[in-house]
Amino acid sequence: MSVDEKTVRRIAHLARIAVTDAEVPHLQGELNAILSFVEQLNEVNVEGVEPMTSVTPMVMKKRQDGVTDGGYPEKIVQNAPATEDNFFLVPKVVE
Protein backbone atom coordinates (compact mmCIF):
# COMPACT_ATOMS: atom_id res chain seq x y z
CA MET A 1 0.00 0.00 0.00
CA SER A 2 1.24 3.46 -0.87
CA VAL A 3 0.20 6.86 0.40
CA ASP A 4 -0.06 9.77 -2.03
CA GLU A 5 0.07 13.52 -1.30
CA LYS A 6 -3.71 13.82 -1.17
CA THR A 7 -3.89 11.09 1.48
CA VAL A 8 -1.12 12.75 3.52
CA ARG A 9 -3.06 16.00 3.53
CA ARG A 10 -6.26 14.16 4.49
CA ILE A 11 -4.54 12.38 7.38
CA ALA A 12 -3.05 15.68 8.57
CA HIS A 13 -6.48 17.31 8.39
CA LEU A 14 -8.11 14.50 10.37
CA ALA A 15 -5.32 14.67 12.97
CA ARG A 16 -5.67 18.46 13.11
CA ILE A 17 -1.99 18.89 12.22
CA ALA A 18 -0.86 21.89 10.19
CA VAL A 19 1.31 20.62 7.33
CA THR A 20 3.09 22.90 4.88
CA ASP A 21 3.63 22.01 1.23
CA ALA A 22 7.34 21.43 1.95
CA GLU A 23 6.56 18.88 4.68
CA VAL A 24 4.21 16.72 2.59
CA PRO A 25 6.89 14.73 0.70
CA HIS A 26 8.77 13.96 3.92
CA LEU A 27 5.60 12.81 5.68
CA GLN A 28 4.63 10.78 2.63
CA GLY A 29 7.94 8.93 2.81
CA GLU A 30 7.58 8.29 6.55
CA LEU A 31 4.01 7.00 6.21
CA ASN A 32 5.00 4.72 3.32
CA ALA A 33 7.90 3.33 5.40
CA ILE A 34 5.54 2.64 8.31
CA LEU A 35 3.02 0.91 6.05
CA SER A 36 5.72 -1.24 4.42
CA PHE A 37 6.84 -2.37 7.89
CA VAL A 38 3.26 -3.25 8.82
CA GLU A 39 2.91 -5.21 5.58
CA GLN A 40 5.96 -7.28 6.62
CA LEU A 41 3.99 -8.44 9.66
CA ASN A 42 1.55 -10.23 7.33
CA GLU A 43 4.38 -12.60 6.36
CA VAL A 44 4.81 -13.87 9.93
CA ASN A 45 3.35 -17.32 10.54
CA VAL A 46 1.13 -17.09 13.62
CA GLU A 47 -0.56 -20.47 13.20
CA GLY A 48 -1.16 -22.00 16.62
CA VAL A 49 0.01 -18.94 18.56
CA GLU A 50 -2.37 -18.09 21.37
CA PRO A 51 -3.19 -14.42 21.98
CA MET A 52 -1.65 -13.04 25.15
CA THR A 53 -2.08 -10.00 27.34
CA SER A 54 1.34 -10.17 28.98
CA VAL A 55 4.76 -11.64 28.26
CA THR A 56 4.62 -13.59 31.51
CA PRO A 57 1.86 -16.08 32.26
CA MET A 58 -0.42 -14.55 34.86
CA VAL A 59 -3.70 -15.46 36.47
CA MET A 60 -5.99 -12.58 37.26
CA LYS A 61 -6.65 -12.21 40.96
CA LYS A 62 -10.36 -12.25 41.63
CA ARG A 63 -12.33 -11.59 44.76
CA GLN A 64 -15.74 -12.80 45.75
CA ASP A 65 -18.37 -10.29 44.69
CA GLY A 66 -20.49 -9.50 47.69
CA VAL A 67 -22.05 -6.61 49.56
CA THR A 68 -19.68 -5.50 52.29
CA ASP A 69 -21.36 -2.30 53.39
CA GLY A 70 -24.94 -1.27 53.97
CA GLY A 71 -27.89 -2.19 56.09
CA TYR A 72 -28.09 1.20 57.75
CA PRO A 73 -29.88 3.61 55.36
CA GLU A 74 -30.57 6.07 58.17
CA LYS A 75 -26.85 6.81 58.51
CA ILE A 76 -26.38 7.07 54.74
CA VAL A 77 -29.05 9.76 54.25
CA GLN A 78 -28.27 11.53 57.53
CA ASN A 79 -26.33 14.40 55.90
CA ALA A 80 -28.64 14.83 52.90
CA PRO A 81 -30.45 18.17 52.73
CA ALA A 82 -33.82 16.48 52.12
CA THR A 83 -34.93 12.87 52.60
CA GLU A 84 -38.12 10.88 52.77
CA ASP A 85 -38.41 7.23 53.88
CA ASN A 86 -34.60 6.85 53.69
CA PHE A 87 -34.47 8.11 50.09
CA PHE A 88 -32.73 11.24 48.82
CA LEU A 89 -35.09 14.01 47.70
CA VAL A 90 -33.87 16.09 44.78
CA PRO A 91 -35.43 19.10 43.11
CA LYS A 92 -37.60 18.44 40.07
CA VAL A 93 -35.66 19.32 36.91
CA VAL A 94 -38.21 18.42 34.24
CA GLU A 95 -41.58 20.09 34.08
| pLDDT tens, residue by residue, 26-85 | 999 999 999 999 999 889 998 988 888 788 887 888 888 887 777 888 888 998 999 999
Whole-Å CA distances, 38 to 11, 71, 75:
18, 57, 59
DSSP 3-state of 25: helix
- Would you say the pTM of this structure is higher than 0.75? no
Beta-carbon neighbour count of residue 18 at 10 Å? 7
Q: Is 8 exposed, middle or buried (0-12, 13-18, 19+ CB in 10 A)?
A: buried
Separation of alpha carbons 49 and 12, rounded Å: 36
